[in-house]
Structure 1
Amino acid sequence: MQYKMTYKSPVGDLTITTDGQNVTGLWFENQQNYESLLNDTVKEQYQPIFDKVTHWLDEYFSGNKPAINFPLKPTGTDFRMTVWSKLQAIPYGKTVTYGEVAQQIANERGQTKMSAQAVGGAVGSNPISIIIPCHRVVGANGSLTGFGGGIERKVKLLNIEEVNMSAFHVPSHSTKP
């Protein structure tokens, strides 16, 4: 059984899901079919872990750097789990490129290179947005692309973290902030 609640945030409504012990998801209101990704029944019902998560989100959206004091349990392939682990290591207020994440993983696996596009696919399938900070991953050319919550939200999240946005741009094929 999975449980969910809605959190009203400065970037729109967020749905938080839990198995009762771990955070299993955090999705933006425009992300469709997230419940089917959980492979479980989802019920709107209070769970104590929601208090910790909402406090964390309150702190985050206030511009603070809260520590995660609750367990995360994203579900995905081994490769996706590896990528999501790398995302969690990106410091607050910093960005990395898809290629940099790919090179880190390639180095760890004893390979010379890895596909940045494959990393992009894993980043794009991150089930715990914001807390697993996929918004901190950018294109090598400074392109703000590849964010399931939409480019406008990615820009807002980076602004909350006071990232210097001068080197970044919204690609012409994306929604303008």
Structure 2
Amino acid sequence: MPQLSLHTPIADITLYEHQEKIVALDWGWVEDQEKSPLLLEAKNQLDAYFDGQLTSFDLPLDPYGTDHQKRVWTRMASIQYGETMSYGALAKNLSSSAQAVGTACGRNPIPIILPCHRVVATGEKGSEKWLGGYSGDGGIWTKKALLILEEILEPELF
């Protein structure tokens, strides 16, 4: 399976491709890399995203998951750069429960590109309660960093 690791401002990440579609984005670096045109394009788009020059990814994706998870990820992908949606609003939109949406977010195999960081809880904006959770490397710190990058949160020392 072709895979490509890259350095980002939040962590080293590795992209995985299967049958010319991105299937996963994992935290960390792999030694044995097999580049492909799609992985190089994904790297270029991620670099542009982290440089503040890209607000929407245009990549073929094929995340593995249940039908419900795929519905959540599809709807989550439509949350625009710089915007958020609550777990509850996303659940209502899908006739689901907020807990099931949270579980699907936590199992998102392609974070950042499928922007689970844009799904938040309730409470005061920026508070730990409002942020909800984040299953990626670094947890809430990483979610905050992505929300700051998208100018959803003001920079702060954290």
Would you call these one fold, judging by a TM-score over 0.5?
A: yes
Candidates 32, 44, 61, aligned match of 1:72: 61
State whether residues 65 and 92 of structure 1, in contact with CA within 8 Å, keep that contact through their aligned partners in structure 2.
Answer: no
| Greater Cα radius of gyration, structure 1 or 2 | 1
**Aligned residue for 1:140?**
122
User: How far is the alpha carbon of 1:59 from its aligned partner?
Assistant: 0.6
User: How far is the alpha carbon of 1:137 from its aligned partner?
Assistant: 0.6
In structure 1, the residue corresponding to 2:94 is in which secondary structure? helix
In structure 2, the residue corresponding to 1:44 is in which secondary structure? coil
CA–CA distance in structure 2, aligned partners of residues 28 and 102 of structure 1: 27
What letter corresponds to residue 151 of structure 1 in structure 2? Answer: I
Deviations, residues 57-89 of structure 1 (Å, cap 9, x unaligned): 111001123443320110100000000001101
CA–CA distance in structure 1, aligned partners of residues 99 and 55 of structure 2: 30
Sort the Cα spacing of 1:66 and 1:141 in 2 relative to 1 into closer, same or farther, 3 A: closer
State whether residues 73 and 108 of structure 2, in contact with CA within 8 Å, keep that contact through their aligned partners in structure 1.
Answer: yes
Tell me how large the CA RMSD over aligned residues is.
2.0
Q: Tell me whether 1:54 sits opposite 2:53 in the alignment.
A: no
Q: Tell me whether 1:129 sits opposite 2:111 in the alignment.
A: yes
Deviations, residues 114-148 of structure 1 (Å, cap 9, x unaligned): 31011100011000010000000111224212211
CA–CA distance in structure 2, aligned partners of residues 105 and 133 of structure 1: 17
State whether residues 50 and 149 of structure 2, in contact with CA within 8 Å, keep that contact through their aligned partners in structure 1.
Answer: yes
Q: Single out whichever of 135-144 and 147-156 deviates more from structure 2.
A: 135-144
Sort the Cα spacing of 1:165 and 1:86 in 2 relative to 1 into closer, same or farther, 3 A: farther
**Aligned residue for 1:98?**
87
Give 5+ residue unaligned stretches, structure 1.
31-42, 107-113, 167-175
State whether residues 9 and 50 of structure 2, in contact with CA within 8 Å, keep that contact through their aligned partners in structure 1.
Answer: yes
Deviations, residues 21-61 of structure 1 (Å, cap 9, x unaligned): 0000112239xxxxxxxxxxxx6311111111011011100
**Aligned residue for 1:109?**
none
Q: How many residues align?
A: 148
Sort the Cα spacing of 1:164 and 1:156 in 2 relative to 1 into closer, same or farther, 3 A: closer
Deviations, residues 92-120 of structure 1 (Å, cap 9, x unaligned): 000111000000001xxxxxxx3101110
CA–CA distance in structure 2, aligned partners of residues 104 and 136 of structure 1: 15
**TM-score (ref. length: structure 1):** 0.77
**TM-score (ref. length: structure 2):** 0.86
CA–CA distance in structure 1, aligned partners of residues 57 and 153 of structure 2: 24
